[in-house]
Chain A
Amino acid sequence: MIKQPFSSLLISAALAGSLLVSTPGTLYAADKVIKIGALFPMSGPGSYFGAQDKQGIELAIEQINKTGINGYKLEVQFEDSSCSPLPATQAAKRLLEQYKPNVVIGEECSDATLAIMPLMEQAKIPFLNAGSSSIKVTEPGNPWTFRIMPNEVMQGVDIATNAYKKLNARTAVLLYENTNAGIGNAKVFSDTFTKLGGKILADIGFGRDVNDFTSIATRIAGVGKVDVIPTYTLEGQGLKITQALAQAGVTKGGGGQSIQLGTIWLPFGFEQKAGKASLGYVRIVQFDPTDKREIVRGFGQAFKAKYNQDPTHINAHAYDQIILIADVVRRGAKDAQSIRDGLAATKAFSGVTGSVEFDKTNQNIKMDTIHYMETLPDLSWKALGWN
């Protein structure tokens, strides 16, 4: 019985501790500050995104605050939105109420982003998104939500058209994770491809808990001649799929004829991890660390210096979100309303993942850095120059 007070003491100590450290890192009082709220999944499997976003954001903030912009410094507060609507709602409200940001960036998962959007609209805080591909984020359009990444329709139509016209593909097997983004992207591909005259031989969705893809590869090996296999999945399952397809002798990497088609979801370095199984993989990339532009080289070097690794597209998107905000501040924005207006008026902004210019739904319409890459036998990329 003597243990009772001990445990309650422990819990209250934990609670008290949590309250103490809950104040965000403050900058020097003299600086004028633009407060950026960052809603990303920091726990659970979704932290795959959050951890990388955080790296990109912190690097950008560090660089910008060396000099400041227009007398402003940037400050960021992270909140774990867990890739899911309810926790995202709680995190967004906590951020809005307690941190009172001037602008919010975030969520990767479309359903969490969609749950946050109305809250930001209500609070009149601009919300900048990079990682959610659902068309609903910008269709019909929300005056406070901006997206710098191409949406599922832009990606899917483009890939399907190029598969049909450039690769002369007539048959396809759809492979996608059963998530908002996976289903949405696969559907756009399927619609475009069949309209052009192609045929979908199998439509295979799988949960994020599927580990062994040998059975799926076996099934694909048995459906006949498959020209392309558009694959919509993240790095982890993507590796297993590519390896299994090669083992089953379906794709070029395993001596077969099929070409795997990929999205901008896969990081740079995927081919090295997948090994020779990824031979012939054709995919679009929005961020290419070997890009010769000055801004990309500088980003790559700084990232390597800070984290001792090469940046991924997720790091890059997060970095771009911050430097876009910095650009808007440079143009004179100082509060939520002016940041929103500044974002909407963005012209000729060039980030590491490409240019940004929003249409009337606040969707970025520039796709200048979306390139098609083919994986060569030495696992390097060959730019296909399709757009």
Chain B
Amino acid sequence: MLTVLLQQGINGIVVGSLYVLVALGLTLIYGVLVQINFAHADIVTLGAFAAYFFTHAFGGSYLASIGIALVVGGALGWLINAAIFAPLRDRGSELLPLIATIGVSIMLQNAMLAWFGPIPYAFDTPYSEHVIRIGSTFFTVQSVLIIIVSTTTIGLLYAFMKFTFLGKALRAVSQDRETAGLMGINPNYLIMLTFVIASALAGMGGALLGPVLVMTPFAGTSVIVKAFAIVIIGGFGNVEGTIIAGLLVGLIESYTTQFLDPGLIDIVVFALLLLMLAVRPTGLIAEKREENV
């Protein structure tokens, strides 16, 4: 029993750290803009495809493809900000970008369908079939890679937010928009930067998820609903909370599969979400922050 608990713990952490990468982007954008990018899921998908084609069509190494996906994601984020969020920023409604990005999402999914077709791609990496067994637990090298890459990335992001001037400015904006102005930084620049970072994370998440996901043009959408839940459980815009919540959701998923039924995963996750809203609407980690809605 103990090994099963331990094994499911490992499974949960691996999946959870992938969720964290996706959810962090949503949280960062929400923190700065108080808006939701619905096309975030499709950036994940495009990241996965970018990595796939880099490795399978051009023979690049998988590790390098993670970097490619990061760049592709960042570029897409820049584009979506420039095309959708920037023009709508002064309209004052948080719903307009949401609906516009729904349109973008429909467009991207169907454009990918036209290009890549609906047959799932087999994204094999040198690491995904290599299994390590310790005692009666097992995990693939790919899982180890997922943990290493996501931990490093999260660490770097954290250091950037904590120790660099720009990072501090970002946090300042997400707490109070006027402060940024006082710091002498153009808020538009900061918002653009947030989008690029958030989407680069999503693209990279895609490269790591590619070998895990059923890789079709709709792959990202299977992750995004859970990413929404994670963002809320973690407290909107709260980076630490999102990390904890992401791992928590990963663990819920594996333990629900073990002890209940995989069909009930979403019910358990969202029941927790409602419970969370009932008892602690500010999220797992309370942050002093005016509710600016």
Contact = CB atoms under 8 A, between A and B. Distances in A.
Given A47-B113, A235-B119, A218 B262 contact: no
Interface string B200-241: 000000000100111110110111010000000000000000
Contacts of A44: 218
B12 A215 contact: yes
Nearest to B106: A43
A222 B138 CA distance: 13
Contact of B118 (A47, A212, A275): A47
Given A239-B122, A247-B138, A248-B138, A212 B212 contact: yes
A129 B212 CA distance: 34
Given A44-B218, A51-B119, A236-B120, A210 B129 contact: no
Contacts of A206: 262-263
Nearest to B120: A236
Contact of B222 (A47, A48, A211, A216): A211
Interface stretch (B3-11, B53-61, B181-189, B275-283): B3-11
A273 interface: yes
A52 B118 CA distance: 9
A52 B11 CA distance: 34
A42 to B, nearest CB: 9
B12 A45 contact: no
Nearest to A218: B7
Interface in A207-252: 207-212, 214-216, 218-219, 222, 235-237, 239-240, 243, 247-249
Given A235-B119, A247-B131, A247-B140, A45 B218 contact: yes
B129 A275 contact: yes
A325 B110 CA distance: 32
A75 to B, nearest CB: 24
Contacts of A50: 118
B4 A205 contact: no
B96 to A, nearest CB: 14
Interface string A44-61: 110110111000000000
A282 B182 CA distance: 69
B contact residues, range: 35 or more
Interface string B1-38: 00010011001101100000000000000000000000
Contact of B258 (A43, A218, A273): A218
Contact of A207 (B128, B223, B263): B263
Nearest to B137: A218
A355 interface: no
A204 interface: yes
Nearest to A240: B214
Given A51-B118, A206-B262, A240-B214, A219 B257 contact: yes
B80 to A, nearest CB: 19
Contacts of A239: 120, 122, 214
Contacts of B265: 210
A45 B118 contact: yes
B101 interface: no
A48 B119 contact: yes
A84 interface: no
A89 B234 CA distance: 42
A178 interface: yes
Contacts of B218: 44-45
Nearest to A52: B119
Contacts of A216: 257, 262
A88 to B, nearest CB: 18
A204 B122 CA distance: 24
Contacts of A237: 214
A204 B118 contact: no
Contacts of B14: 212, 214
A204 B265 CA distance: 13
A209 B11 contact: no
B263 A178 contact: yes
Interface in B227-276: 253-254, 257-258, 261-263, 265-266
A218 B4 CA distance: 7
Contact of B122 (A47, A215, A273): A273
Contacts of A275: 124, 129
A225 to B, nearest CB: 16
B214 A218 contact: no
Contacts of A222: 4, 258
A32 to B, nearest CB: 35
B219 to A, nearest CB: 8
A69 B219 CA distance: 44
Nearest to A47: B118
A318 B291 CA distance: 57
A318 to B, nearest CB: 15
Given A206-B263, A207-B262, A236-B214, A215 B118 contact: no
Contacts of B155: none
B103 interface: no
Nearest to A41: B118
A275 B257 CA distance: 26
Contacts of A248: 138
Given A218-B254, A222-B4, 16 more contacts: A209-B221, A210-B265, A211-B214, A211-B222, A211-B223, A212-B11, A218-B4, A218-B8, A219-B4, A222-B258, A239-B122, A239-B214, A243-B128, A243-B129, A248-B138, A249-B138
8 contacts: A47-B113, A50-B118, A205-B261, A206-B262, A216-B262, A219-B258, A236-B215, A239-B122
Question: Which A-B residue pairs are the 3 nearest by beta carbons?
Answer: A236-B214, A236-B120, A209-B222
